[in-house]
Amino acid sequence: MKADKVGSAFILFRSEYWSRDRLVRCASYLFALIAWEVTGYVVGPLFLAGPTQVVIALREVVLSGELLLALMVSLQAFAVGFAAAMASAIPLGMLMGRFESVERFFEPYIAAFFVTPVSALIPMIIIWFGIGIEARVVVVFSFCFFDIVINTFNGVRDVRYELVEPVRSLGATQRQIFMKVILPAAAPFVMSGIRLGLGRAIRGMVIAELLLATTGLGGMIVTYSAVFRTDVIFAVLVVIVMLGVGSVRLIKAMESRLFPWKETSTIRGGFEGSARTAPAPAEG
């Protein structure tokens, strides 16, 4: 994308920056903001605060330090839960992909838990873990664990035969095949598992704060809804959305950095960031 290269505000004044795709995107944002503002004005701030009021409320909670404090509390449970999920789900997924007996052993539970709405387990989590940080960590963990397991498992299991065979033909040991073929071939799948898991972990984080002890960002939503401060509620929601979108973007950027070899020949062709496939040079 051109903007990254130039990195200057003056880019906004260049005509080539305003491609058709960008214009459509901007028009979409503009439309949403205007609709939101008008609706807020019509129904009143008790039901829906408009964007301008949300910005003012955001400034308020940032300056008072309340938002930062809530954010730290939320991120604590999130970080521990997500790290624990990665540390256990990636090895488990790999073992399942590599050894059929391990897959047989765990598959039914993974399948069952994957379709179970974790929110429905929250009463049990309260009974077992209380409503403190431990319980919130468990909720975050159970929200994202299965996405990471399943993606890692698929990545390892579906490594193409045509990739393994030539390396085996060169006399590689099982260990070398795993390290030099299976691991790098599965890495992009593990990464997309992490990306999907991250989104779910953030959802889990907020849900835990809504349904367990009212604390963190979710706690702010509960507290301010009791006093009908829709402006603050939306300010917190904006923060949560930015957190999610920002971290997913970060991982996507890491993915294209780590896996430059990934062919990006999708049916969408020109979708943003996918115009990377260089034309094959002519023979000879």
Measured between alpha carbons, how far is residue 34 from residues 25, 26, 46, 91 in Å?
14, 12, 19, 48
CB of 282 to another protein, least distance (A): 7
CB of 255 to another protein, least distance (A): 13
Q: 19 or 174, CB closer to another protein?
A: 174
Q: Which of 27, 146, 130, 36 is closest to 85 using CA atoms?
A: 146
Of 91, 123, 132, 166, which one interacts with another protein (CB under 8 A)? Answer: 166
Contacting range for another protein; rule: CB under 8 A; set: 16-24, 104-112, 157-165, 195-203: 157-165
Task: Tell me phi and psi for residue 186, to 5 degrees.
Answer: -85, -20
CB of 128 to another protein, least distance (A): 43
- Terminal C-alpha separation, the chain: 32
Q: 120 or 278, CB closer to another protein?
A: 278
CB of 2 to another protein, least distance (A): 23
Q: Where are the alpha helices (DSSP H) in the chain?
A: 2-6, 20-43, 51-64, 66-98, 100-115, 122-129, 133-157, 161-169, 174-177, 183-211, 216-226, 230-258
Contacting range for another protein; rule: CB under 8 A; set: 6-14, 36-44, 84-92, 173-181: 173-181
Q: 98 or 168, CB closer to another protein?
A: 168
What is the number of other CB atoms lying within 10 angstroms of the CB of residue 104? 10
Torsion of CA 81, 248, 261, 95, to 10 degrees: 20
Of 1, 127, 267, 282, which one interacts with another protein (CB under 8 A)? Answer: 282
Packing angle, helices 230-258 and 51-64, rounded to 10? 80
CA angle 115, 121, 122 (to 5 degrees): 135
Q: Which of 231, 244, 219, 214 is closest to 59 using CA atoms?
A: 231
Of 21, 165, 228, 254, which one interacts with another protein (CB under 8 A)? Answer: 165
Q: 115 or 282, CB closer to another protein?
A: 282
Contacting range for another protein; rule: CB under 8 A; set: 88-96, 224-232, 239-247, 274-282: 274-282
| Window 224-243: residues binding another protein (CB under 8 A) | none
Q: Is 263 in the site for another protein (CB under 8 A)?
A: yes
Q: 250 or 258, CB closer to another protein?
A: 258
Site map (CB under 8 A) of another protein, residues 182-211, x = contact: --xx-x------------------------
Q: Is 176 in the site for another protein (CB under 8 A)?
A: yes
Residue that is written with structure tokens 């430059």 in the block: 260
CB of 157 to another protein, least distance (A): 18
Q: Is 163 in the site for another protein (CB under 8 A)?
A: yes
Q: How many residues bind another protein (CB under 8 A)?
A: 28
Measured between alpha carbons, how far is residue 161 from residues 155, 166, 177, 188 in Å?
13, 9, 12, 17
The conformation of residue 9, written as its DSSP 8-state character, comes to G
Q: Is 257 in the site for another protein (CB under 8 A)?
A: no
* Residues near another protein, by CB under 8 A: 162-163, 165-172, 176, 180-181, 184-185, 187, 259-263, 277-278, 280-284
